[in-house]
Amino acid sequence: IACFWRSGSASGRHHITIKAASVLPIIFVSQTKIAKTVKKEETMIDLSFKNIKFGVVALGQYMDAAITISNMSKKALPLTYDCDVGCFEVLSPQTIIQGHSTTELNVRFTPSMQYSFESLLKVKCPTKPSARITLRLTGQGAAPSIDLSATKIDFGHVMVRQTATRTIQVKNNASFALKYVYKLAPEDGQYFTNMDLNDAFSVAQQSEWLEADKSGTAVVTFTPDHDALEWSSRLIIAAGEDGQKR
């Protein structure tokens, strides 16, 4: 707070002495990482830092943010966290931050609809009300978009103990990167098991990240160990089932 004193002058001029005092915040945000990418890292205290932007996240996926909080005081301080919108989830439990040390606060954004979401994250110290941080969290939910080169895989006739391979091209039509998951999920009544109880069908790569407008490949192999006419299974290609962890 600046304080002003005025001294009069017979010459018609006034000389004003300006004094001010600066106070360091007790707790502040020193670093943020979103999806393992450092968005802010300061050696100086930035009191203007108020926003954490998660960006666009596909429905069914999530994005994590790691927020580093620093304690400038010599004393240990208990911290509590409060977030008012369900799409933003505080993963870290309430904690005690030691003097002149840091602690990491983890927040997850999981959009439930194709909307823009906003919430306030409040970090409080019950024993020292003046020690508090309010952060604005924002994120956008978007629907994934998948284009497949085929909707059916037919291996035809394959010799016992021989291996056949088929591929499907998967294109990300969304305007943002997505993680695609490839897995086999046979339905009841489908015949897919070899004599050793292992699946005759397999997926070579179970997931991959595709940038916007880029294509990947789902590779399926078939290796039967006995004669049968009705081998069948089901391949599921999904965007975001394992979460958006990069």
Give residue-wise pLDDT tens across range 80-97.
999 987 899 999 999 999
Q: Residues of the chain with pLDDT > 70: what percent?
A: 87
Q: How far apart are CA 220 and CA 206, in angstroms?
A: 10
Give the mean model confidence (pLDDT) for residues 215-222: 96
- For 36-50, 97-111, 130-144, which range has the lowest pLDDT when averaged over its residues? 36-50
What is the pTM (predicted TM-score) of this model? 0.65
* Residue 157: predicted pLDDT: 94
Distance of CA 121 to the CA centre of its chain: 16
Distance of CA 31 to the CA centre of its chain: 16
* Residue 154: predicted pLDDT: 95
**DSSP codes, 119-132:** EEEEEE-TT-TT-E
Q: Residues of the chain with pLDDT > 90: what percent?
A: 62
CA distances from 93 to 82, 89, 101, 244 (A): 11, 11, 17, 22
Give the mean model confidence (pLDDT) for residues 199-203: 95
CA distances from 62 to 58, 93, 150, 202, 216 (A): 7, 19, 28, 27, 21
Of 22 and 231, the one with more pLDDT: 231
User: In this structure, are residues 41 and 31 in contact, taking their beta carbons and an 8 Å threshold?
Assistant: yes
pLDDT tier at 25 (50, 70, 90 boundaries)?
Answer: confident
Which token pair is 216? 């990947």
The radius of gyration computed from the CA coordinates of the chain, to the nearest angstrom, equals: 29
* Residue 40: predicted pLDDT: 57
